[in-house]
Each structure stands twice: as C-alpha cells, then as structure tokens.
C-alpha cells in the first residue's frame, strides 16, 4: 500500500500515540500504567470529550468550526436534571427532548451560516453565549439527579471478563464512534462533507447539495454535543457551567488526530487517537504525581504546535506535487 | 497644476474616508444611545455624577472604567482583524501579564515603571510568537493563536505555581485604580493608546499597509508591501494591548489569577470589533467604532446589573447582539430582507 500525503498526519498521530503510551507504560510500569484497566479508563474518562470531538470532526472536515460545543453540553445536562427535578419528566422523555433540542440548535446555527453566508466562527460564538446563558436561566447551580432509571444506568457495567468493565458512557462513546466511521466513509453524506471541505466551489459545480450538507453537519455536531451532555448527566447531576472550554479540547483532539483545519482531509479514527493522546497525557501527569495539572495545558499546546506545523508541511508538499 | 489636482484628489479621498468612518461609527453609537435613553427613563440615578476626593463617581464613569480592558483589547484586535486575522490568545496573554507583574512585584525590587515595561515587553514577545506562526509559518490565524490560548494559561499558572498571588504595591495599584484628571487612570491608558494608534494609522502609511494586506494579500505583496512584516507587527501590537489590559486587571484586583484573568475577553473584544463595523474578512478598519462597540457591550452589562435582571441574561443579550449586527452587515441578508419587503408591498 502506498502512503499518500493525506495519510501522513494520521500516521504521525498513531506514532505519537504509541510513543506516549509506550513511554508512560515504561516509566510508570511499577504503578501499573500498562494494564487493561487503565486503558479502558481512557474510554470511560474521556467519553464526553470523545463524543463532542466526533461531532467537531465532521464540522472541521466540512471546513467550518463549532465553538458552541461546551455550552450545549452544559445546557443539555441542566435541562435534563431540572426537567426531571422540577417537572417530573420521565428520564427517557427528558433525554429525547434534549437530543432533539441539541440537533435543532445546531441545525439552526447551520441554517444561519447557510442562508446568510455568515462566518461559522461568529455564528457558533453567538450560539456559545446563547446556550450558556440559557443554561444559567434554567438553573444557576448544579442540580442532582435521583431517579431509579438513571441510577441503574449510571451503575450499569458491561463485564468484559478479568474484572474489566465498561460503563454506559464508554459504551455510548464507542457506539457513536463506530456509527461516525460508517457515516464518514460509507455514506453519501460523508462523501459530501469531504467534498465540501475539500473545495466548496468544485462541490457546488459538481451539483452536490452543499447548502443542506452544511446545515446537517452543524445539526450533527449539535446532536453529538447533546449526547455528550447526556453522558455528563450519568454522573448523576446537571450543571449549567459544565464543560466550560471543552470546545478547545475538542478542536485540539481533532487537529492532533490529523484532520486538516482547512477541511477535506482527515479521519474519524484519527480523532479517537487524538482523544486518547489527550487522555494519556492527563493520566500520565496524574501518575507522575509531582507534575502539576497546568503541564497538561502546556503539553497540549506543544502537541498542537507540532501537528499544525506538520500539516503545513503536508499541504505545501501537496501543492508542489499538484503543481509539477 | 498637477500638484493641485493631486491635492484635490487627496482631499476628496480623505473626505470619503471620513464619511465612511462616520457611517460605521453610527450604528454602535445609535445602539449606545438607545440603551442610554432607556436608562435615562427607567434607571434612577444612572446619569448621576458626583465629585468625591477629587474623583468623579457615577454609573457612566464606572462603565468607562470597567470597559477599559476590553477597549484596549479591541484596539489591538481591530488591527489584527484588519489584516484578515484574528487573535484568540489575548485573554491568556492577559493572564501571563498578571502573573509576570505579580512575580516581579513580590520577588524583585524593580520600580513600578520597569515592571510595567518588562511585562508589556513579555506580552509583545507572546504576540510576536503568534505573528511568526501566522506570517511566516502561514498557519491559519484561528489555529495559530489557539495554541497560545491553550498553552498561555498553563504558562501563567506555571509562573505563579498554580496559586493566586496577591500583592500590596501602592504605585502599581495606581495603574488600575488610581485617579488622573478626576477620572480613573485606566481611561487615560485607553485614551493614550488610542491616540498613539490612530496617529500611527492615519498619519503614516501603516494604516494603508494594514488595510491593503487585509483586502488582498497577494496584490499588496506584488506592489511591494512586506505583508509578512505587517502581519507580524499587527500581532505584536495585539500582544502589547493585551499586556496593558492584563496589567489593569491585575492591578485592580491586586492579584494575579491565572485561571480567570481575561477569561472570555477575547470573545468580547472580537464582538466589539465586529459591532464596530470592521469585517472579519479584513480590510477597512475603524478604531473609534471598535471603542464604541466595547462601550456598548459594557453599557448593556452594567444596565443588566443595575436593573437587577439576572446576570445570565448578559450572555443571551450578547448572543442576540452578535447575530443582529452580523445579519445587518451580511449582504445576503439585506438582499433577502429587501426581496421580502418588496414582495409584500
């Protein structure tokens, strides 16, 4: 199999992921870093970020950006909690309304971007303020959730044998991931997203429905954010100030995962690796013990820099090969 | 003869520029007037000013004072946006400024002035870093500045060891809380920065270069402008403005809070610039309108606070303002709205 320029970023991501994991595993082998339990925990601890990043991947692949992710998570979580607490809504109904609401909210932002040609950056910035404000209007503080169904859901464990268990949030994450890969690689929608991000003008000239694809991409991201909000409520509370700044981590995960920010190039699987890399850094710093949490931010910043410069290198090479 | 016609041409283009600047200043000013008028009728004592210990007090002065950091940021942001970029890192740079100042105050015996100069220089370096990434590595501005936005707060926390450093320093306290000409000192800082910047862009070719780079980078490069240097300078300037804003905040709360200093202010300052009529795509820019935009945001916030409306409304109001202003500026929206009106009539 020949390696094309498009695949260099994701190969680099895989290499960094393995390198980080290997280094941490060797450095902390006496504390049991290299164990299935710790590995499974990456999926459990990062389920919320992972789901949100998957939605963000589609948006960035289409050439856009979504800054509203964190706020929508906060709004969804507080909506579910207060709907069950104040209006005694059954959990299933509350979750369904929240998912629908997130999708409509994202689709609405997509519609403004589509019909008025406004920059996604500004529209989703407004969406971010709006969702955060709406969340605070519902309730100012964290609201606990106490419902037999929810308790059962958050207690749920899928035993994999050997004492290894997956929680409901990890299962939702993995399911979303698999569906997203199918959506991106094997459906018409996925191909349209790649075409739109690759070159919007060509996509229009080819007769692709770029407008509706744009709207659906933001609706999908809204849905993923709402789903991440549902995962947050599995911690048995809803909080309007949940996931502040999560959109930045999600963008970082997507970029580190090898998706080009100009759109059109990247893989959902890369984003999973990106989320894993962020998780490994976080866990390694916890395992190390004496390093403080702000080193996480600096490490993420350095990784971002490396990957962005790598992307530049790939792009200039691509330009040169097409020119010659 | 030729000189005379050149002169006339120059005068004409100057007049056109002035009328255009006024056109863009109009909207934020009208919005500001509406909010102020609302307060005039419905908020008692909103326009009340009184003199106490040689300083004027009142809601209006308070608005000016509180808007100072965002006003400073929006000045730098206007220049950056005019070159076709954006700077997401200004909030994090403010936090770095606070941490550096706190360290210098508590750990060294430097004078007030050298502390300010050192801090601003450090922030200029941070801005230059952004500029190098954007201009020389040609990374998209959103992404390039995202790096410092994420890592910057980490660096600020690293400097203060993760703690909130408090300090007592009378001369440094003057920077954010002092009185000058009967007004809070931050207002003077904003006024001086604005005066320097507007002289720079109006009296020298710098303004033209910035606009040209934002309008059409390739063309300006071909016409001999060092586009990379212009961009680099713009981000450095943004860093300096963020440094000053960070100093004001740190001096005001007499502490360096690496987690919260300048949080979300990058978004507020971008909003101020956009409300002021400078398009995110770059080109024409309006420093004074950006200041008016920053004032509008702060006036809305203060109005909401004084009228005992839940503070959370501020976020929703901001969101609505962004969308309305952007829609009004969008060519497509105006076309569609006109079509709708015509169809009805």
Q: In this predicted model, what pLDDT tens digit does every residue of B77-103 receive, in sequence order?
A: 999 999 999 999 999 999 999 999 988
Q: What angle do CA B29, B35, B40 make, to 5 degrees?
A: 115
A121, B312: Cβ pair inside 8 Å?
A: no
Domain extent listing, chain A: 46-274
Q: Which of residues 174-233 of A touch B (CB under 8 A)?
A: none
Mark residue A139 as left, alpha or beta (left: phi above 0; alpha: psi -120 to 50; beta: remaining): beta
pLDDT tens for B135-150 read 998 888 888 898 898 8
Average pLDDT, chain B: 85
A319 in B contact zone (CB under 8 Å): no
B63 or A319: which leads in pLDDT: B63
Tokens of B179: 């009185």
Predicted confidence at residue A324, as pLDDT, reads 45
A151 in B contact zone (CB under 8 Å): no
Predicted confidence at residue B42, as pLDDT, reads 78
A261, B327: Cβ pair inside 8 Å?
A: no
B162, A65: Cβ pair inside 8 Å?
A: no
Predicted confidence at residue B335, as pLDDT, reads 79
pLDDT tens for B307-334 read 777 777 788 887 887 788 778 777 777 7
Distance, CA of A174 to CA of B308 (rounded, Å): 46
Q: What angle do CA B45, B51, B56 make, to 5 degrees?
A: 80
Instruction: Give A307's contacts in chain B (Cβ within 8 Å).
Output: none
A308, B144: Cβ pair inside 8 Å?
A: yes
Predicted confidence at residue B123, as pLDDT, reads 96
What is the number of alpha carbons within 13 Å of residue B29 lying toward its C-beta? 8
Q: What residues are paired with A238 via a beta bridge?
A: A143
B253 or A195: which leads in pLDDT: A195
Distance, CA of B69 to CA of B77 (rounded, Å): 12
ipTM metric = 0.79
Predicted confidence at residue B68, as pLDDT, reads 93
- What backbone phi and psi angles, to 5 degrees, belong to A141? -125, 180
Query: What pLDDT band is residue B11 in, cutting at 50, 70 and 90?
Result: low
The answer to whether A59 and A197 are in contact (CB under 8 A) is: no
Predicted confidence at residue A318, as pLDDT, reads 64
Interface with chain A: mutation pick from B150, B277, B282, B325, highest number of A CBs within 10 Å:
B150
Distance, CA of A69 to CA of A55 (rounded, Å): 9
Q: Which of residues 78-97 of B touch A (CB under 8 A)?
A: 86
pLDDT at B256 over 90: no
Instruction: Give B155's contacts in chain A (Cβ within 8 Å).
Output: 298
Instruction: Identify which of B148, B271, B310 has the shortest CB distance to residue A137.
Output: B310
Distance from CA of A221 to the nearest CA of B (A): 19
Tokens 């503080």, located at residue: A141
**Dihedral, CA of residue A89, residue A92, residue A95 and residue A98, to nearest 10:** -60
Distance, CA of A232 to CA of A94 (rounded, Å): 14
Q: Which long-range contacts (CB under 8 A, 24 or more apart) does A80-85 make?
A: A80/A145, A80/A229, A80/A230, A80/A233, A80/A238, A81/A139, A81/A143, A81/A144, A81/A145, A81/A233, A81/A237, A81/A238, A81/A239, A82/A138, A82/A139, A82/A143, A82/A238, A84/A145, A84/A147, A84/A150, A85/A143, A85/A144, A85/A145
């Amino acid at each position: 199999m020949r390696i094309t320029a498009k695949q260099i970023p994701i190969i680099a991501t895989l290499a960094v992921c393995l390198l980080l994991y290997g280094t941490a595993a060797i450095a902390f082998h006496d504390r049991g870093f290299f164990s299935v339990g710790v590995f499974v925990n990456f999926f459990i601890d990062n389920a919320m970020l992972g789901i949100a990043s998957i939605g963000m991947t589609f948006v960035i692949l289409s050439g856009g950006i979504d800054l509203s992710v964190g706020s929508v998570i906060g709004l969804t979580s507080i909506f579910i909690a207060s709907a069950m607490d104040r209006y005694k809504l059954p959990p299933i109904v509350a979750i369904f309304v929240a998912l629908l609401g997130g999708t409509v909210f994202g689709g609405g932002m997509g519609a403004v971007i589509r019909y008025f040609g406004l920059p996604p950056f500004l529209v989703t910035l407004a969406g971010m303020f709006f969702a955060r404000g709406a969340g605070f209007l519902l309730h100012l503080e964290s609201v606990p959730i106490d419902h037999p169904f929810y308790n059962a859901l958050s207690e749920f464990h899928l035993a994999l044998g050997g004492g290894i268990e997956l929680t409901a949030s990890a299962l939702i994450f993995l399911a979303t991931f698999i569906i997203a890969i199918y959506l991106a690689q094997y459906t018409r929608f996925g191909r349209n997203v790649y075409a739109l991000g690759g070159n919007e003008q060509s996509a229009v000239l080819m007769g692709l429905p770029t407008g509706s694809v744009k709207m659906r991409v933001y609706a999908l991201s809204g849905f993923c954010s709402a789903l991440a909000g549902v995962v947050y409520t599995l911690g048995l509370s809803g909080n309007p100030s949940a996931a502040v700044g999560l959109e930045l981590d999600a963008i970082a995960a997507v970029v580190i995962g090898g998706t080009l920010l100009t759109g059109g190039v990247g893989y959902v699987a890369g984003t999973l690796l990106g989320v894993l890399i962020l998780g490994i850094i976080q866990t390694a710093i916890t395992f190390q013990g004496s390093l403080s949490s702000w080193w996480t931010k600096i490490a993420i910043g350095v990784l971002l820099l490396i990957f962005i410069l790598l992307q530049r290198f790939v792009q200039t090479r691509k330009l040169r090969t097409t020119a010659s | 003869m030729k000189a005379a016609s050149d002169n006339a041409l120059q005068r004409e283009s100057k007049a056109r520029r002035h009328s255009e600047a006024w056109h863009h200043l109009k909207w934020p000013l009208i919005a500001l007037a509406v909010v102020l008028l609302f307060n005039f009728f419905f908020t008692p004592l909103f326009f009340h000013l009184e003199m106490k210990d040689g300083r004027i007090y009142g809601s209006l002065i308070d608005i000016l004072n509180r808007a100072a950091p965002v006003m400073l940021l929006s000045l730098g942001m206007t220049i950056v946006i005019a070159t076709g970029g954006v700077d997401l890192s200004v909030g994090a740079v403010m936090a770095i400024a606070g941490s550096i100042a706190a360290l210098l105050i508590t750990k060294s015996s430097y004078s007030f002035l050298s502390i300010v100069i050192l801090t601003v220089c450090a922030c200029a370096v941070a801005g230059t870093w952004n500029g190098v990434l954007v201009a020389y590595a040609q990374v998209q501005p959103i992404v390039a500045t995202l790096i410092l936005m994420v890592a910057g707060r980490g660096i600020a926390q690293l400097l203060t060891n993760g703690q909130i450093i408090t300090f007592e320093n009378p001369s440094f306290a003057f920077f954010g809380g002092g009185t000058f000409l009967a007004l809070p000192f931050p207002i003077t800082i904003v006024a001086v920065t604005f005066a320097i910047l507007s002289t720079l862009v109006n009296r020298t070719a710098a303004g033209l270069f910035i606009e040209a780079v934002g309008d059409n980078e390739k063309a300006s490069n071909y016409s001999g402008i060092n586009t990379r240097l212009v961009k680099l300078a713009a981000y450095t300037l943004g860093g300096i403005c963020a440094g000053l804003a960070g100093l004001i905040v740190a001096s005001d709360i007499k502490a360096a809070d690496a987690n919260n200093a300048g949080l979300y202010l990058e978004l507020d300052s971008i909003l101020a610039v956009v409300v002021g009529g400078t398009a995110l795509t770059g080109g024409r820019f309006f420093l004074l309108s950006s200041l008016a935009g920053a004032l509008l945001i702060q006036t809305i916030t203060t109005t909401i606070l004084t009228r005992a409306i839940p503070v959370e409304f501020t976020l929703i109001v901001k969101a609505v303002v962004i969308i309305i202003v952007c829609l009004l500026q969008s060519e497509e929206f105006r076309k569609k709205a006109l079509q709708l009106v015509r169809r009805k009539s």
